């Protein structure tokens, strides 16, 4: 089955500094890198590398050519995207010698989706498949409603969390994907052992995937609960770990693999991702994941089901 991701795309401008620039100060940076980013781009790439047929939807800004190339190089279909004369979403990131970062975001074309474009794109996509969203674009609630009305499956990664999430029709989703921070914001209270259950009680019709960093991940669908730990690896950069997990998880459920097998693949894929620096470039292919499992270099923990 096919995935249509109304997803964010970002250009990350990364500057190395000794310490962050202060109010009123002008300073030279030590190095500059330009990276592709955005949870939408990462999740399209992860799902495509897992083996799904993925259409990325959204507006490519006038400076967004390399983002399109990045998607295409990973096998993502960009034919439903539209060109825009505005600037793409971007981030100005300072990375200090302390290792801390300081990030200024501009939504750009990620925040300029229109109902007309959404309707056109849903019509062109057809009636079979899954619509994927993150909380980095505008009109998220409207897209959930429109896609659900067409009978499409819908998954939302409610990241990064904002108060707007509470206004989305979460009960219409087939899958709500959150980490412990986003889950606790939605359900209220602490990110404790009861969190998955509290989310399930709030949204009994919705499948819920809760990722817990190095603690692993849990999910529930139709009263069927599953949980898996994480692979013991040396993490060098956890950027895109959650996006990798989401992409492989959705591939597995869409292909009709068992939840246990799906969780194993997503866990090994994310463990490979955190061992590599970078974001989209650190996402492995399904072939790499299966090879790591076969040669024993990564063994997923046992899945518990109840």
Ligand X SMILES: Nc1ncnc2c1ncn2[C@@H]1O[C@H](COP(=O)(O)OP(=O)(O)O)[C@@H](O)[C@H]1O
Enumerate the active-site residues.
243
Choices 78-86, 141-149, 231-239, 248-256; region in contact with ligand X by CB under 6 A: 231-239
233 or 260: whose CB is closer to ligand X? 233
- 245 binds ligand X per the rule CB under 6 A: yes
Among 72, 221, 238, 285, binds ligand X (CB under 6 A): 238
Report the site for Mg ion in 26-85 (rule: CB under 5 A). none
Work out what residue 262 binds among ligand X, Mg ion, none; the CB cut-off runs from 5 to 8 Å by kind. none
Q: Find the shortest distance in angstroms from Cβ 128 to ligand X.
A: 28
The bridge status of strand 2-6 relative to strand 53-57 is parallel
140 or 178: whose CB is closer to Mg ion? 178
Helix axes 259-274, 286-294, angle to 10 degrees: 100
Report the site for Mg ion in 178-207 (rule: CB under 5 A). 179
Helices (H), the chain: 39-50, 65-73, 115-125, 140-149, 180-187, 195-202, 241-254, 259-274, 286-294
Give how far Cα 299 sits from Cα of 63, 244, 245, 267, 272, Å.
42, 17, 16, 9, 11
User: CB neighbours (10 Å) of residue 22?
Assistant: 8
For Mg ion, how many residues bind (rule: CB under 5 A)?
A: 2
The bridge status of strand 10-17 relative to strand 31-37 is antiparallel
How far apart CA 145 and CA 176 sit, in angstroms, is 14
174 or 243: whose CB is closer to ligand X? 243
Choices 7-15, 25-33, 197-205, 269-277; region in contact with ligand X by CB under 6 A: 269-277
64 or 216: whose CB is closer to Mg ion? 216
Among 71, 154, 209, 271, binds ligand X (CB under 6 A): 271
Q: Site map for ligand X, 154-193, x if CB under 6 A?
A: -----x-------------------x--------------
210 CB-near residues (< 8 Å, 6+ apart): 178, 179, 180, 183, 195, 196, 199, 217, 218, 219
Among 213, 229, 278, 301, binds Mg ion (CB under 5 A): 213
End-to-end CA distance of the chain: 28
Q: Which residues bind ligand X (CB under 6 A)?
A: 159, 179, 211-214, 216-217, 230-231, 233, 235, 238, 241-242, 245, 267, 270-271, 274
């Amino acid at each position: 089955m096919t995935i249509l991701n109304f997803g964010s795309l970002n250009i990350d401008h990364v500057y190395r500094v000794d310490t962050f620039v202060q109010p009123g100060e002008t300073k030279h940076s030590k190095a500059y890198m330009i990276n592709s980013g955005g949870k939408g781009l990462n999740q399209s790439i992860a799902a495509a590398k897992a083996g799904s047929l993925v259409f990325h939807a959204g507006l490519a800004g006038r400076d967004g050519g390399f983002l399109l190339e990045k998607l295409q190089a990973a096998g993502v279909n960009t034919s439903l995207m539209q060109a825009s004369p505005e600037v793409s979403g971007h981030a100005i990131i300072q990375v200090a010698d302390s290792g801390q970062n300081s990030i200024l975001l501009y939504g750009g074309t990620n925040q300029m989706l229109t109902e007309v474009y959404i309707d056109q794109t849903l019509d062109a996509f057809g009636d079979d498949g899954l619509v994927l969203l993150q909380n980095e674009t505008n009109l998220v609630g409207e897209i959930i409603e429109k896609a659900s009305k067409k009978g499409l499956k819908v998954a939302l990664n409610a990241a990064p969390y904002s108060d707007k999430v509470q206004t989305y029709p979460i009960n219409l989703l087939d899958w709500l994907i959150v980490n412990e921070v986003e889950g606790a914001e939605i359900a209220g209270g602490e990110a404790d052992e009861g969190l998955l259950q509290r989310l399930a009680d709030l949204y009994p019709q919705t499948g819920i995937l809760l990722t817990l960093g190095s603690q692993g991940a849990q999910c529930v669908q139709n009263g069927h609960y599953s949980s898996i730990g994480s692979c013991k690896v040396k993490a060098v950069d956890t950027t895109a770990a959650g996006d990798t997990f989401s992409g492989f998880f959705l591939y597995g459920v869409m292909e009709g693999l068992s939840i246990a097998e799906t969780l194993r693949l997503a866990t090994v894929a994310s463990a490979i991702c955190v061992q590599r620096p970078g974001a989209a470039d650190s996402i492995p292919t399904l072939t790499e994941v299966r090879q790591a499992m076969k040669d024993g270099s990564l063994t997923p923990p046992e899945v518990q089901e109840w």
